[in-house]
Amino acid sequence: AQSVAQPEDQVNVAEGNPLTVKCTYSVSGNPYLFWYVQYPNRGLQFLLKYITGDNLVKGSYGFEAEFNKSQTSFHLKKPSALVSDSALYFCAVRDLGGATNKLIFGTGTLLAVQP
Amino acid sequence: DAGVIQSPRHEVTEMGQEVTLRCKPISGHDYLFWYRQTMMRGLELLIYFNNNVPIDDSGMPEDRFSAKMPNASFSTLKIQPSEPRDSAVYFCASSLKTGRYEKLFFGSGTQLSVL
């Protein structure tokens, strides 16, 4: 079965510093991977996706993610964190079969950016 | 477009009562998903519809839960009778299948508290 794991419940970073939110995946076949962000009292919002092609994927709000097949990872990164980036981040993988947009989400990582 | 609209935003009820959550997807979208978010289990897919037809309800916890989509612009998730362990945030999401992947657009959720 397709799955993703987010090993960190929370990541703390100072404003202006680079940030990384980790995600590893387990899939059969080619992975379709996604990052979503959830701000307080809001629904999830799409950030970026990896389908195929370049291993470095650029997304919204200056975020990017690096697909690493050998390490089965898809870490979310940003060169310089902002306080406004503080939110809950979810990694997701497309499930096999059924709808192409049926996603399986990780448990989420809370990103806290200190001023 | 107003996005995915969910109502109510908050629902407080007593154990044993019937609860109905409502969702209006983005106009033109052909997929609709119901997710439940809790601290313990994270984000779980309960059921999804394609063109108003339920495709996969394997995530529905038990017979107390039911979902309908009588037309393309409206869906309900009903819990009868409700129990304290049903307390969670329930999200509705919609998407349009146009290619190899589709973004999910989430509503702001319904915070359900069962006392």
Q: Where are the beta strands (DSSP E) in B1-115?
A: 5-7, 10-13, 19-24, 31-38, 42-50, 53-56, 65-71, 74-79, 88-95, 105-106, 110-114
Within 8 A of B100 by CB-CB distance, chain A residues are 32, 51, 100
Q: Quick check: A103 and A94 in contact, CB under 8 A?
A: yes
Q: Quick check: A93 and A81 in contact, CB under 8 A?
A: no
Q: List all residues 6 or more positions away from B58 whose beta carbon is below 8 Å from its beta carbon.
A: none
* CA neighbor of B21 nearest in space, from B39, B56, B47: B47
Out of B42, B50, B108, the one facing A43 most closely (by C-beta) is: B108
Query: What is the per-residue pLDDT for B106?
Result: 94
Query: What is the per-residue pLDDT for A99?
Result: 56
Q: Quick check: A102 and A77 in contact, CB under 8 A?
A: no
Query: What is the per-residue pLDDT for A103?
Result: 86
Per-residue pLDDT of chain A in tens (115 residues, 90 and over written 9): 788 999 999 999 999 999 999 999 998 888 889 999 999 888 899 999 998 788 999 999 999 999 999 999 999 999 999 999 999 999 999 876 655 567 889 999 999 999 9
Q: Do A101 and B106 touch (CB under 8 A)?
A: no
Q: Do A105 and B56 touch (CB under 8 A)?
A: no
Q: Do B91 and A43 touch (CB under 8 A)?
A: yes
Phi, psi of B65 (to 5 degrees): -100, 135
Query: What is the per-residue pLDDT for A84?
Result: 95
In DSSP notation, A52-89 reads SS-SEEE-GGG-EEEEETTTTEEEEEESS--GGG-EEE
- Residues B35-46 have a mean pLDDT of 90
Interface test with B, best of A2, A37, A44, A48 (most B CBs within 10 A): A44
**Residue range B76-99, pLDDT digits in tens:** 999 999 999 999 999 999 998 766
**Residue range B43-73, pLDDT digits in tens:** 999 999 999 999 989 899 889 999 999 999 9
* CA neighbor of A65 nearest in space, from A94, A34, A38: A34
Q: Do A99 and B97 touch (CB under 8 A)?
A: yes
CA-based R_g, chain B, Å: 14
Confidence band of B13 (pLDDT split at 50, 70, 90): very high
Q: What is the mean pLDDT of chain B?
A: 92
Q: CB-based contact (8 Å) between A53 and chain B?
A: no
Q: Do A49 and B101 touch (CB under 8 A)?
A: yes
Structure tokens at B56: 């996969």
In angstroms, the Cα distances linking B64 to A102, B16, B60, B79, B86 are 23, 11, 9, 5, 10
Q: Do A101 and B55 touch (CB under 8 A)?
A: no
Phi, psi of A72 (to 5 degrees): 45, 50
Q: Quick check: A24 and A71 in contact, CB under 8 A?
A: yes
Q: CB-based contact (8 Å) between A89 and chain B?
A: no
- Residues B21-41 have a mean pLDDT of 93
Query: What is the per-residue pLDDT for A73?
Result: 96
Query: What is the per-residue pLDDT for A102?
Result: 77
